[in-house]
Amino acid sequence: MEVAVWRGSGDRGAYQTFSVPAHDNQTVLDVVSWIQQAVDPSLTYRYACRVGMCGSCAMMVNGQPRWTCRTHVKRVLADGRLQIGPLRNLPVIKDLVADMDPFFDKWVKAGGVHKPSRTREEPIQEVSPDDPGRVVANTAIECINCSVCYAACDTVAGNPDYLGPAALQRAWTLYNDVKVQDRQSVLDAVTGTGGCMNCHSQGSCTRFCPNELDPLSAIAGLKRAAARSFLKGRG
């Protein structure tokens, strides 16, 4: 099969085509690894676990963001061709490696760090798995930070300040976490410039999330919480 791979660094680069032997069982990451091991050792890409847990191997495959280690070539091959590029909406370091800094910076900016409400001297807070807030929070904790949703989002593409689906979903998780006491500060961090109100509900985040999470609904939850907070006069 013909595989076009993005080569270059920064803003400059072009697709380079390789002929890769096709196998019955083959992931997109296998294809990239084969090129790097058999044809061009200088091809740069990122991966770690190969089983869909670490979130480091996401790339654009035929124009769609995917976790390449769990994407079978057979399912994405179009006319015997494959086009593999670095993740969209992020600066390119080299070849298939995107600079994840903006993604993680926004994670922090959205208040993604857990701020405990108890000290270590106090007894551990009991959290019931059936607590409604906990149930909502649980829906998003399987996020692996792969940035697929971030690459899929047109709002991110159009607004560099937009926090993006993953960071906002994290904020929604914290907002529902019974261990978080200051919910208003969680909300304040994600309702300003670049916050949840920028979301146009295009739903690409939910469509492409490899772990089948639902950032679209999480952001809708933040919008509801913000509306409620506004109507109660808390700004």
Partner 1 sequence: MMVRPHRRHPLWLAYMLHRLSGLALALFLPAHFYMLSLALTRPRQLDHFLSLADNPLVKLAEFGLVFLLAVHFFGGLRLLALEFLPWSPRQKSLAAGAVAGAFLISATFLLRAV
Both tokens of 231, joined, read: 């109507």
Closest CB 72 distance from partner 1, rounded Å:
17
* Residue 152 interacts with partner 1 (CB under 8 A): yes or no: yes
Spell 208-219 as b/e; 16+ CB within 10 A means b: bbbbebbbbbbb
* Residue 191 interacts with partner 1 (CB under 8 A): yes or no: no
Q: Please, are residues 89 and 106 in contact by the beta-carbon 8 Å criterion?
A: no
Closest CB 125 distance from partner 1, rounded Å:
25
Q: Report the residue number, 118 or 200, with the smaller CB distance to partner 1.
A: 200
Among 101, 154, 161, 182, binds partner 1 (CB under 8 A): 154
- The amino acid at residue 169 is Q
Both tokens of 169, joined, read: 């979903």
**Residues 85-144 close enough to bind partner 1 by CB under 8 A:** 88
Q: Report the residue number, 40 or 230, with the smaller CB distance to partner 1.
A: 230
The binding track of 193-222 with respect to partner 1, each residue x by CB under 8 A or -, is: -------xxxxx-xxx-------xx--xx-
* Residue 16 interacts with partner 1 (CB under 8 A): yes or no: no
Both tokens of 78, joined, read: 């179009």
Closest CA relative to residue 90, chosen from 142, 148, 31, 167: 148
What does each C-alpha distance from 124 to 61, 118, 157, 173 come to in angstroms? 45, 8, 42, 20
Rounded distance between C-alpha atoms, residue 82 and residue 24, angstroms: 15
The binding track of 37-76 with respect to partner 1, each residue x by CB under 8 A or -, is: -----------------------x-xxxx-----------
3-state secondary structure at position 204: helix
Q: Report the residue number, 33 or 176, with the smaller CB distance to partner 1.
A: 176
Rounded distance between C-alpha atoms, residue 166 and residue 213, angstroms: 10
Rounded distance between C-alpha atoms, residue 8 and residue 132, angstroms: 48
Q: Report the residue number, 33 or 165, with the smaller CB distance to partner 1.
A: 165
Closest CB 159 distance from partner 1, rounded Å:
15
- List residues binding partner 1 (CB under 8 A): 60, 62-65, 88, 151-152, 154, 200-204, 206-208, 216-217, 220-221, 223-224, 227
